[in-house]
Homo-oligomer: A and B are copies of this chain.
Amino acid sequence: MIDQTANVLKALGEPTRLKIIKFLSARELCVCELVEVLGISQPRVSQHVKVLKQASLVNERKVRQNSYLSIDEAVLKDAIIIPFQTLMQTRLDKLPELKAENQRFELLEANTAVTACKEGNKRKKFSGNSNQIA
C-alpha cells in the first residue's frame, strides 16, 4: 500500500509527465501528437507514457497503428486522492507494512507521552517517573 501509493505520486511527480497528463485532460491524444505538442522526442514520450500506464494513470486505445492515450478525470482524481487518503485514514495497526515501526511507536505512546529522546528521558527522570522506550 505504501509502495503503491508512493508509486502513483512519484509517477505524477515529474514535469514532463504532468504535462502529458495536462494535455490528455484536454482530449485524447496519440503518441505522435504528444511528440508534436510537447516538442520532445518520440522515445521520450513513449517512456514517460509507460510510467503513467504502469501507474494506471492513463488508458490506451489502439486504433490502426496509433496508440491513443486518455485519462479519466475521475479516475485520475481517485488515483491521487483515494490511495493517499486511504493510506492516511487507515489506522497504523492496520498497515502490515508498518508493523515493526508501529510497535516501536506504540511503545513510545505507552510511555505516558514521553519522547524517545535521551534528553527527554533525562528530563522525565528528573521530574519523577520514567519508563522508556527500550
Contact = CB atoms under 8 A, between A and B. Distances in A.
Contact of A30 (B21, B73, B77, B117): B117
Contacts of A63: 133
Interface string A28-52: 1010110111110000000000000
B101 A39 contact: yes
A58 interface: no
Q: How many copies does the complex hold?
A: 2
Interface in A51-104: 63-66, 68, 73, 76-77, 80-81, 84-85, 87-88, 92, 95, 98, 100-101, 104
In this complex, which of A22, A33, A39 has the most chain B Cβ atoms within 10 angstroms of its Cβ? A22
Query: 3 smallest A-B Cβ distances: which pairs?
Result: A10-B13, A9-B13, A36-B116
